[in-house]
Amino acid sequence: MTDHGDLEASGLLDGLDGQARAERAELISWLLDQGVALDQIRGNSAPMLLASRRIIGDDGEYVSARQAAEKFNVDVELFVRIQRAMGLPRVDDPDAAVFLRADAEAAKFTRDFLDAGIDPDELVQITRLLGDGLARAAEAMRYATLAAVIRPGATELEIAQASAALVTNLAPLLGPMIQDMLQLQL
């Protein structure tokens, strides 16, 4: 656990007073104990969700489009098109490390589909349709998760811990659930 002086110097408690400041300090100390870096906490607008996001792949590591594409032998331009179709922001510099490592793993699926004979343009279209639907589903899932863990009087740390526990239990179910639902439509 980091000491209180380090937290004060970090600037992460600036603008907070009293109970809110104490709760944020408690949350940040716990996040640091969980292995979340100060820079990742600093760059996040909702630090109480960082532990949950780590469970689903947000480890704070970023890679470039070129790195991801080369890792799986995918054309960089196609990788960028797939990322855009997934709903991720446009990136002009293929060497800028702006993709979460977990997001960049989509290049593996791109390679697998290409190897199976799927046309790149059709793969982009399929990805766009899946991305649109899953974006709406993800929004509803985020809301449902927060609604399940937020309780009157709960501290930021209690909400973070409850959210992490819930996501730990539910995350392994998502892939099979989505796969089953998709197979019903095929």
Task: Supply 86's token pair.
Answer: 């997934």
The residues, ordered by sequence, that sit 6+ positions from 157 with a Cβ below 8 Å of its Cβ are 23, 26, 27, 30, 48
pTM beyond cutoff 0.85: no
Domains of the chain by residue range: 1-43, 62-123
Architecture of the domain whose range is 62-123 = Orthogonal Bundle (1.10)
Mean pLDDT value across residues 117-126: 98
Confidence category of residue 60, pLDDT binned at 50, 70, 90: confident
Q: What's the mean pLDDT in 107-125?
A: 97
Per-residue model confidence as pLDDT tens digits over 10-28 = 888 888 889 999 999 999 9
Q: Which residues contact 86 (CB under 8 A, 6 or more apart)?
A: 103, 106, 127, 130, 131
